[in-house]
A and B are shown apart, each in its own frame.
Chain A
Amino acid sequence: MARTVSYPLLVSGLVVALCAALAGSMMVGPAAAGTFELFNLFARGDGDVAWMIVREIRLPRTILAAMIGFTLGLTGAALQGFLRNPLADPGVVGVSSTSALGAVLAIYTGLSAMFALALPVMAIAGGLVCVVLLQWLAGRGGVLTLVLAGVAISSLAGALTSLALNLSPNPFAAVEIIFWLLGSVTDRSMDHVALAAPFMVFGWALIAWSARSLDALTLGEDSAASLGVNLARVRWMIVLGAAVGVGAATAVAGVIGFVGLVVPHILRPYVGHRPSRLLLASGLGGALLLVAADIFVRLVMVGAELRLGVVTALIGAPFFLSLVLRARAELEA
């Protein structure tokens, strides 16, 4: 399966593609569909308006899409490496759903209006509850146990999210179930970036710290321990990193599924199956995928914008099915 692409080449290729996508994201939008229209706004002397559109509307959504994509790709790669389970993904195992529940409780009770940090903190707490539950339910089990536990936790968190939104006296709350289940970065502001970005970066740092240990873990837990890997510490760093990063991401953009599942799978053959290398590549790949998806929802806009989670699910769900087919073929072989 190994392809002949050197790691530096792969990373620089992803960086170049990501930069192109970021630039594209700043130039695409309903107010000026093409780059030229944006420059026309500047040329007409409406520079202030054009700047405001770019700075206040497109910049925050671009930053968020890139950072959230990076978080999801990185976390997916870390969870898959750590659990040695190809189906581990923040969405599949339920971290995203419980984070969304935490965020919903923070917003709709009015808590985050009094205390802005309550939003990311509650979402991260939701993610932590999920990983603790997972450790307890499926810590020793195989692929199937983890996925089943994840499905159960996701469904419960989704139901409780809907319940909380239905109970809210705000007449718009119930409609916003869609946002929390399918995710979006439309019309997010720099305030959201300021709230979520530091936590996401902290989550990345925690996971990056454990990269070497992940490589050792591919040899099995006993061999890794003999190489000096402190398993308990690695577990907590990855679990905490996943909860903090995904929690902060979900707090401002809702649940965006499948990024952490698809991206590591696509990139794994190119990095020689070394988890530490996969981490950076998956982060970049996730950022690229989400920024591209966010450009796509703006380009195909008919009336209202598509949700980001719809696009990632359209890409991810068939991929998930192909994984199932491959697993079946391996079982039959």
Chain B
Amino acid sequence: MAARRLSLGGLCAVLAAAASAWADEGKPQRIASLNLCTDQMLMMLVEPERIASISFLSLQNERTPPELRDTAAALSVNHGLAEEVLLQEPDLVLAGTYAARPAVGLLRRLGVQVEDFAPEMSFDDMRANLLRMGDLVGERAKAEAIIARFDADMAALQAQAGEKDDMPVFADIEVNNWLAGAGTLSEEIVNAGGYRTLAETLGVVGHQNVPLEVLMTTDPDLMALETPWSDPPSLATNGLAHPALQRMAAARDVIDMPERFTICATPYSLEGARLLAAQRAGGE
């Protein structure tokens, strides 16, 4: 037993030495990402040749910004399973703090470097995650450039958006009547586009599903009822076709707000704010 423990310790030491040697040598060259949002940041930061695999979710156009779709389509994918990721021989694995946890534990035990990223609940989170990933993959300057450009775009939108009290109300009703309220990424995007969210006016903090009856008693200026997941259907997506909701929408302006803007915080999310700003400019 003692000998075995010794040899294990020896192995760890060798691995640690190898790891530090690799760190000196340069940037990771085979990076695997197990999470949709780390996928997107990774594709923005490094050349496709350095990506070992991304999650299969990034192949779904409903979730991936158009700007990244071609890159994603050409890459290998993983399904968050330890075995397939190991076979791809990554030198760095990026994971979300809530997804593929069994695989993450297993990969760590086998000595693979896994870095966890908490989901971005705001653009501040996005800035922090981008900078941290930039450091990890050796592309700090690129991350800083992306953020600088994002900040400029954001400032331009906010200048246009005006005072919050004057903003019209936008009801982005997601499947199962979920609304995104105060302290969410959606709120930041909607505010940047010159609208308040319906959830804010209802006093909702975070995400909450609101009974259909309560939605009926509200009076938003603009509504979004679309979901990209209607074919094949589900009860949840069919629920948005409820006659009461449809009647409410028929009496108001309606906009198509794809949900990919709010799944992950990236500079591409600002496209959602631009859609809203154009709607507001057109309406006035």
Binding site for B on A (CB under 8 A): 29-32, 41, 46, 49, 52-53, 56-58, 107-110, 112-113, 168-173, 175-176, 179, 187, 189-191, 301, 303-305
Contact = CB atoms under 8 A, between A and B. Distances in A.
B216 A53 contact: yes
A56 B243 CA distance: 7
B232 A168 contact: yes
B214 interface: yes
B243 A175 contact: no
Looking at chain B's contact residues, the main secondary structure is helix
A172 B229 contact: yes
Contact of B233 (A107, A301, A305): A107
Given A56-B247, A107-B235, A170 B229 contact: yes
B244 interface: yes
Contacts of B281: none
15 contacts: A30-B211, A30-B213, A31-B214, A31-B217, A49-B217, A52-B244, A56-B247, A107-B233, A110-B231, A110-B233, A170-B237, A179-B235, A187-B242, A189-B243, A303-B209
B211 A31 contact: yes
B242 A189 contact: yes
Given A56-B247, A168-B232, A172-B229, 20 more contacts: A31-B211, A31-B217, A49-B217, A52-B244, A53-B216, A56-B243, A107-B233, A107-B234, A110-B233, A112-B233, A168-B234, A169-B232, A172-B235, A172-B236, A176-B236, A179-B235, A187-B212, A189-B242, A190-B243, A304-B209
A244 to B, nearest CB: 22
B258 interface: no
Contacts of A31: 211, 213-214, 216-217
Interface centre among A52, A58, A301, A305 (most CB of B within 10 A): A52
B119 interface: no
Given A56-B244, A187-B239, A113 B213 contact: no
Contact of A170 (B214, B234, B242, B244): B234
A176 to B, nearest CB: 5
A173 B232 CA distance: 10
Given A29-B211, A31-B211, A57 B232 contact: no
A284 to B, nearest CB: 28
Contacts of B114: none
A173 B237 CA distance: 9
A36 B233 CA distance: 39
B214 A30 contact: yes
Contacts of B19: none
A189 B160 CA distance: 41
A215 to B, nearest CB: 41
B176 to A, nearest CB: 7
B225 to A, nearest CB: 14
A272 to B, nearest CB: 43
A53 B234 contact: no
Interface string B227-266: 0010111111111001110010000000000000000000
Contacts of A179: 235
A242 to B, nearest CB: 25
Nearest to A173: B234
Given A57-B244, A187-B242, A52 B234 contact: no
A31 B236 CA distance: 21
B137 interface: no
Contacts of B175: 172
Given A169-B232, A172-B237, A29 B209 contact: no
A52 B251 CA distance: 13
B86 to A, nearest CB: 25
B216 A57 contact: yes
A165 B234 CA distance: 9
B213 A53 contact: yes
Interface in B200-234: 208-209, 211-214, 216-217, 229, 231-234
A49 B216 contact: yes
Contacts of A112: 233
Interface centre among A107, A301, A303 (most CB of B within 10 A): A107
B161 to A, nearest CB: 30
A53 B209 CA distance: 17
A32 B212 CA distance: 12
A233 to B, nearest CB: 38
Contacts of B236: 172, 175-176
A300 B272 CA distance: 38
B212 A52 contact: no
Contact of A176 (B213, B214, B235): B235
Contacts of B243: 56, 189-191
Nearest to B212: A187
